[in-house]
Amino acid sequence: MAPEADRPEVVRGRLVLDDRVAAGRIRIDGDRIAEVELEDDADSPGSAEPSDAFIAPGFVDVHVHGWGGHDAMGEIGDLDGMARALLRRGVTSFLPTAVTASLPDLVAFAARVREWVPRAPVDGAAPLGFNLEGPFISAAKKGAQNAAFIRPPSEVDRAELEPLLEGLRLMTVAPDVPGGVELIAWLSGRGVRASSGHSPADLDTARAGYAAGATSTTHLFNAMSAVDHHAPGLAVAALAADDVYVELIADGHHVHPAVWPIVTRTKPADRLLLVSDAMPLAGTGAKRGLIGGLEVQVDGDRCTLVSTGALAGSIIALDTAVRNLARSGVSLPAAVAAASRNPLAMLGVSDRGRLAPGQRADLVELDDDLAIRRVMRDGEWRAGAPPGVSLRRRLAAAR
């Protein structure tokens, strides 16, 4: 008989598959899924015994600025702490995300992440590169970004951007700013995903950005031209283009829950991305802090700029976003895909994000209330964290 440590682990529960929930078991061999065997279908959370855990692919946050008091733009120790804190919330892969800053500071951030990636902690979320939210955005829709560092792409030589490219997976660009569409095309040609956002672009300009190669949309509805039946802008262009991804911050503040069905009924299910846009204050209980040199405050579960009261990212993690979306009426497979398979597909990553043989053994075990019990990364279980913000009352009111 093989030693206990050499035996493949078997995980049983209600498996959250691409198109349904089904009772079954997953055999893990090392850091990979070796086999998935289904027993019977369990189409809804109430159709199986509450003691049977949901087993879902690990979550992937492609837009997160910090967590647990750790700033993505801080030192390497902050990246360690952020990765460990995110893993406990079900995030097995992520993109540390920089806010708008000076180009030298962004170059330093990029170099720091590149140095850190090979030695990122195995008990933390795995980095997939990094994300830059700016500085090539519109001052008219800067949101909580620092206007002092906003730059028009037309005034920046491409040589200044070369030090950013290695490891850069996603970058927000406003298509309306001078040189914005050209920068989107240049990034696309260099293998970097561009995301349209922080822009008051009209419909034609927004469409030009997507035609130039923008594949995603930074926090849909927030800091962009919205749905105006006389003057449609970026939000309409994003919703109407079936091949374009859209980010949704499902905290109930950035987009009212009554609007979520408009998104989920308009966009193909595989083009919705749940993101946290979380600030370093998330998970700390602290009420004041800094992001990009701007002071922010937390009131309940809402994070805003002290100076203007504008929303300044969120204090949720993706486990909360998945719960909120599922409780709003979206099927559990669709809610989970928006936090796992879809962001990976947007990045072109195919070795994780599904419960299927050959995939990395990155899993999340959830109870009947969709709270995290434990998290597996590369075949190793880690303890989960207590549930975060709940939107039960606001979701009920939105129906």
| Active-site entry in 202, 277, 319, 362 | 277
Q: What is the CATH number of the domain that holds 47?
A: 2.30.40.10
Provide DSSP, 63-99. Answer: EE-EETTEETTS-HHHHHHHHHHHHTTTEEEEEEEEP
* C-alpha span between 194 and 199 (Å, rounded): 13
Same domain, 221 and 271: yes
Would the pLDDT of 43 be above 50? no
Q: Is 43 a catalytic residue?
A: no
Same domain, 237 and 358: no
pLDDT of residue 134: 95
pLDDT of residue 395: 59
Q: How confident is the model at residue 392 (pLDDT cuts 50, 70, 90)?
A: low
* C-alpha span between 98 and 111 (Å, rounded): 12
Q: Is residue 190 part of a domain?
A: yes
Q: What is the CATH number of the domain that holds 133?
A: 3.20.20.140
Q: What's at 150, amino acid-wise?
A: I
Percent of the chain whose pLDDT exceeds 70? 92
Same domain, 14 and 102: no
Same domain, 245 and 267: yes
Measured at the CA of 170, the angle between CA 165 and CA 176, to 5 degrees, comes to 100
Would the pLDDT of 47 be above 50? no
Q: How confident is the model at residue 246 (pLDDT cuts 50, 70, 90)?
A: very high
Q: Which residues are registered as beta bridge partners of 71?
A: 66
Per the CB < 8 A criterion, the answer to whether 375 and 364 are in contact is: yes
Q: How confident is the model at residue 114 (pLDDT cuts 50, 70, 90)?
A: very high
Q: Is residue 34 part of a domain?
A: yes
Paired tokens of 226 = 């919205």
Q: Is residue 304 part of a domain?
A: no
3 state SS of 191: coil
Same domain, 100 and 69: yes
User: Which ranges of 284-350 would DSSP assign to H, the alpha helix?
Assistant: 318-327, 332-338, 341-347
Same domain, 18 and 140: no
Same domain, 120 and 17: no
Q: Is residue 328 part of a domain?
A: yes
Q: Is residue 144 part of a domain?
A: yes
Number of domains composing the chain: 2
Residue 182 structural domain: 59-279+314-347
Q: What is the DSSP letter of 149?
A: G
pLDDT of residue 3: 46
Residue recorded with tokens 């802090």: 289
Q: Is residue 379 part of a domain?
A: yes
Same domain, 272 and 228: yes
Same domain, 52 and 125: no
Q: How deeply is 33 buried, as exposed, middle or buried, from its count of CB atoms within 10 A (0-12, 13-18, 19+)?
A: buried
Same domain, 183 and 243: yes
Higher-confidence residue: 93 or 8?
93
Return the H-helix or E-strand segment holding 11: strand 9-16
Q: How confident is the model at residue 289 (pLDDT cuts 50, 70, 90)?
A: confident
Same domain, 10 and 37: yes
Would the pLDDT of 295 be above 50? yes
Would the pLDDT of 302 be above 50? yes
